[in-house]
Amino acid sequence: MSSPIIICYTGIVEKAIKELKTEGRNAAAVFVTSPTYHGICSNLTEISKLCQSYNIPLIVDEAHGAHLGFHPNTPCSALQQGADLAVQSTHKVLCSLSQSSMLHMSGDLVHRERICKCLQTLQSTSPSYLLLASLDAARAQLSESPETIFNKAMELAVDMKTLINKIPGISVLDFPSFSSFPAFDPLRITIGVWQLGLTGYEADDILIQDFGVISELTGSRSVTLAVNIGNCREHVVRLVSGFKHLSETFSLNQGMRGHRLDDIDCSPFDDINMSLSPREAFFASKRKVSFKESVGEICGELITPFPPGIPVLIPGEVITERALNYLLQLRSRGADITGVADPLLSSIVVCNT
């Protein structure tokens, strides 16, 4: 599906915990992704208090939030809000090398020795010291001026939003427009282009090819940008020029190929039916069938539009016509389909039953 904008509320978490209890089970942990790819944060302070009342650890996927807490205009970090464990992809928003990340701990609810044993089980005995050195360099860079290092990035992000909001046919996802959001990362900027009749994929292609602007995330209706300490004023000028070009080139409500965007089903699937576990599907014998003939079959591969990299079908799931239509819609609008033997979707690998 399209990358969802998910806000995790305390009531949802408590409901899940209580539902498990009625089934005679206890939650081992609460896992929350915050911020989302779009920069939307959950109310981790309240969730943390709830978890503490049940003596349940709170684990936060903070992949896109390694910078949080280092500027007064950013939301507090997960640890500052009481999380027990937080995983950060340091390379995503700071300056370490790709594939380098950090695991942070706080409190005594999760035993450090147990975490170390788990890491010993999963980690290589031959780590990359180049990656480790880059993590230390990123830490050192932050420690030199932790309270001011993001000042320039914040200024650029504000200017960028102000200028883009003035462009006809372009809209910016902003916190004041969504008061229900607990918090919002000001360095993530999601820009809608659907009023121009463009998909995010089409806009992204033009921005890359003609203006050298690389989006962090593209979707069916928008592109998301990440501003960081490596950006400068020239980048803002180039970005704004790119969106002005889109606005001037494509009249409102008329796209490059005259297609409509309203027919894209962006709601999460609620009809998922697993016939086999992913493990059973992995080891099952398989065959290829045509795309149209795969309806009702058991999927034998991971079918993932990229971006955003969220699977539409996973091994063991019964293939539905709705899922196939969604894949075709995304592919026709420029998304790449990964994980499949046939990226053109003329055929799909299914499990023999």
Side-chain-side CA neighbours of 337 within 13 Å: the count stands at: 26
Spatial distance between the Cα atoms of 189 and 160, rounded to a whole number of angstroms: 9
- pLDDT 10s digit of each residue in the chain, 353 long? 344 444 557 888 999 999 999 999 999 999 999 999 899 999 999 999 999 999 999 999 999 999 999 999 999 999 999 999 999 999 998 999 999 999 999 988 999 999 999 888 888 889 899 999 999 999 999 999 888 999 999 999 999 999 999 999 999 987 666 666 788 999 999 999 989 988 898 999 999 999 999 999 988 889 999 999 999 999 999 999 999 999 999 975 554 444 555 555 555 566 789 999 999 999 999 999 999 999 999 999 999 987 777 899 999 999 999 999 989 888 887 788 988 899 889 999 999 98
Under CATH, what is the fold of the domain 278-351?
Ornithine Decarboxylase; Chain A, domain 4 (3.90.100)
Q: Which residues contact 201 (CB under 8 A, 6 or more apart)?
A: 218, 220, 333, 334, 335
Phi, psi of 61 (to 5 degrees): -80, 100
How high is the pLDDT of residue 174?
Answer: 76
β-strands 58-61, 30-33: how paired?
parallel
3-state secondary structure of 10: helix
- Token duo for residue 31: 């896992």
Spatial distance between the Cα atoms of 39 and 186, rounded to a whole number of angstroms: 8
For tokens 């309806």, the residue is 295
Q: Which amino acid is at 288?
A: K
How high is the pLDDT of residue 175?
Answer: 63
Contact 70, 43 (CB under 8 A): no
Class of domain 151-249: alpha beta
Contact 131, 96 (CB under 8 A): yes
Could you state, in order of their start, the residue ranges of all structural domains in the chain?
Answer: 10-144, 151-249, 278-351
According to DSSP, the residues that pair with 8 across neighbouring strands are none
Tens of pLDDT, residue by residue over 159-216, are: 999 999 999 999 998 766 666 678 899 999 999 998 998 889 899 999 999 999 999 9
Class of domain 10-144: alpha beta
Spatial distance between the Cα atoms of 129 and 132, rounded to a whole number of angstroms: 5
3-state secondary structure of 312: coil
- The DSSP result for 314-351, as a single string, is -TTBBP-HHHHHHHHHHHHTT-EEESSS-TT-SEEEEE
- 200-211 vs 233-249: helix crossing angle, rounded to 10: 120
Spatial distance between the Cα atoms of 10 and 8, rounded to a whole number of angstroms: 7
Q: Which residues contact 314 (CB under 8 A, 6 or more apart)?
A: 278, 299, 302, 303
3-state secondary structure of 266: coil
Spatial distance between the Cα atoms of 296 and 51, rounded to a whole number of angstroms: 41
Angle at 56 between CA 52 and CA 62, to 5 degrees: 90
3-state secondary structure of 193: coil
Spatial distance between the Cα atoms of 39 and 36, rounded to a whole number of angstroms: 5
Tens of pLDDT, residue by residue over 104-144, are: 999 889 999 999 998 888 888 898 999 999 999 999 999 99
Spatial distance between the Cα atoms of 245 and 248, rounded to a whole number of angstroms: 5
- Token duo for residue 218: 């593209």
Nearest Cα neighbor of 221 from 142, 293, 308 is 308
Contact 60, 85 (CB under 8 A): yes
